[in-house]
Amino acid sequence: MSLEKQESGAKLPAGIAVCGGAESELASRVHSQPPHAYRTPFARDTARVLHARAFRRLAGKTQVFTRLPAEGLSDHFRSRLTHTLEVTQISRTVAAALGLNAELAEALALSHDIGHPPFGHAGEKALDRALRTHDLSFDHNLHALRIVTWFEERYPGFRGLNLTLAVREGIVKHSRDYSFADHPELAEYFLDEFPPLEAQLIDLADEIAYLTADLDDGLDSGILALDQAREASPLFRQLHDVALARYPKAAGKLVVYETLRRVLNAFVSDMIGEVHARVNAIGATTLTEVRRAPQRLAALSTPMEGERLAIKKFLYASLYNSPGQEHEHERAEEVVAQLFAILMADPGLMPEDHQAQIPTEGLARTVADYIAGMTDRYIVQLWERCGGR
């Protein structure tokens, strides 16, 4: 495919991008603040997320390798922080190539994982299971919204980061839709419409970033074998052959890097082309038309969607849920479940600012909020201090 040639420089109609001017509704804040002399509202939001404590804690949260810190973790595998930076790089590139608001895409990419609890998906599963026994549930998008609107305390005048409406909407809706019937508290976020493309693209940028990164970390750690990857993914095989032919004398590791670079580029270029195709297909020229389109417009083409699914299936079977990892997941789930029970039984073990939330949020939600904010290292330390074993 000559997608790169075909699409280079082609921008979407200007009316589709979210307007970043201080006067636009989507740039409005709950607590009004005067415009900045030389920074746009979304550039300010990017800075607010970057300077948030929850953002810094991403460095201590695992993405895939759920191994407990005591067992040693290679220093160059991705954390949620480095994953977030990779998603940000991809999101900015795609937004700029499409003529969308790259500053908004950057703010959304930086915040897309801040609601994740410790221990990756194992931690999320355990926290959700614990909350279900109290008729509640855990959702990382909604938790991210709680972090930016309440838990972050950085300003004397209000709680939260006071982010713009567009960033709050994107944090909630970038990866899925919520109904008013189930979530009346989210009414201000245009629940019967899709989010702008700047938010829609985050979910795919996230997938592209972690699928290629996890192939990299998986091959590097030796958990995945090169032959397995070649067999599982026709795209990987094809581009690995191209890289081998181009650099026949290069070290195997460098040929793999070259392959993964081409895989990532192929997904990103395909996504840019597919967004164009879908926007053209409905003749959209405004943000409202994107919001009211029959389906989300940020997507991969059918063949590349097949490639994405093949890589994902392979990683689930051979990496995320591989025999060694299952044991780690189980231990991580145990730590979360035990600490949840310990704190439910003795809420006085929580810091005072968390205890102060109990009257309004209820004990179970307060305990979950406290646990969700922890890094992998902190939760293990606290669990051990509380007698967990």
Half-sphere exposure of 359 (CA within 13 A, CB side): 3
Query: Of 68-76, 199-207, 262-270, 297-305, which part binds Mg ion (CB under 5 A)?
Result: 199-207
- In angstroms, the CA 170 to CA 196 distance is 8
Q: How many CB atoms lie within 10 A of CB 334?
A: 15
Give least dist CB 272 to Mg ion, A.
20
Q: Please, which residues have CB within 8 angstroms of residue 70's CB and are 6 or more apart in sequence?
A: 380
Give least dist CB 39 to Mg ion, A.
26
274 lies in the binding site for Mg ion (CB under 5 A): no
369 lies in the binding site for Mg ion (CB under 5 A): no
- In angstroms, the CA 127 to CA 367 distance is 10
**DSSP per-residue string spanning 244-310:** HHH-TTS-HHHHHHHHHHHHHHHHHHHHHHHHHHHHHHHT--SHHHHHTSSS-S----HHHHHHHHH
The single residue among 206, 258, 274, 369 that binds Mg ion, judged by CB under 5 A, is 206
Size of the site for Mg ion (CB under 5 A): 2
Give least dist CB 207 to Mg ion, A.
8
- In angstroms, the CA 45 to CA 284 distance is 28
The contact mask relative to Mg ion for 57-96 (x = CB under 5 A, - = no) is: ----------------------------------------
Q: Which residue is nearest to Mg ion (CB)?
A: 206
- Name the phi and psi angles at 323, rounded to 5: -50, -45
Residue 26: exposed, middle, or buried by beta-carbon count in 10 A (0-12, 13-18, 19+)?
buried
203 lies in the binding site for Mg ion (CB under 5 A): no
By C-beta, is 211 or 382 nearer to Mg ion? 211
Give least dist CB 364 to Mg ion, A.
26
By C-beta, is 267 or 383 nearer to Mg ion? 267
Window 2-21: residues binding Mg ion (CB under 5 A): none
82, 338 contact by CB (below 8 A)? no
Record the tokens describing residue 323, joined without a space. Answer: 């025999």
Give least dist CB 63 to Mg ion, A.
7
Which residues does residue 153 pair with via DSSP β-bridges, in sequence order? 160
By C-beta, is 84 or 357 nearer to Mg ion? 84
Tokens 């759920």 — which residue?
66
207 lies in the binding site for Mg ion (CB under 5 A): no
The contact mask relative to Mg ion for 149-188 (x = CB under 5 A, - = no) is: ----------------------------------------
Record the tokens describing residue 308, joined without a space. Answer: 């994405």
DSSP state of 31: S
Query: Of 200-208, 268-276, 287-295, 313-321, which part binds Mg ion (CB under 5 A)?
Result: 200-208
The single residue among 45, 103, 106, 113 that binds Mg ion, judged by CB under 5 A, is 113
Query: Of 70-78, 106-114, 266-274, 315-323, which part binds Mg ion (CB under 5 A)?
Result: 106-114
Record the tokens describing residue 125, joined without a space. Answer: 């599963």
By C-beta, is 174 or 240 nearer to Mg ion? 174
Q: Please, which residues have CB within 8 angstroms of residue 168's CB and are 6 or more apart in sequence?
A: 145, 148, 149, 189
Give least dist CB 158 to Mg ion, A.
28
Give least dist CB 226 to Mg ion, A.
26
Query: Of 127-135, 203-211, 347-355, 364-372, which part binds Mg ion (CB under 5 A)?
Result: 203-211
Q: Please, which residues have CB within 8 angstroms of residue 85's CB and are 6 or more apart in sequence?
A: none
Residues of this chain that bind Mg ion (CB under 5 A): 113, 206
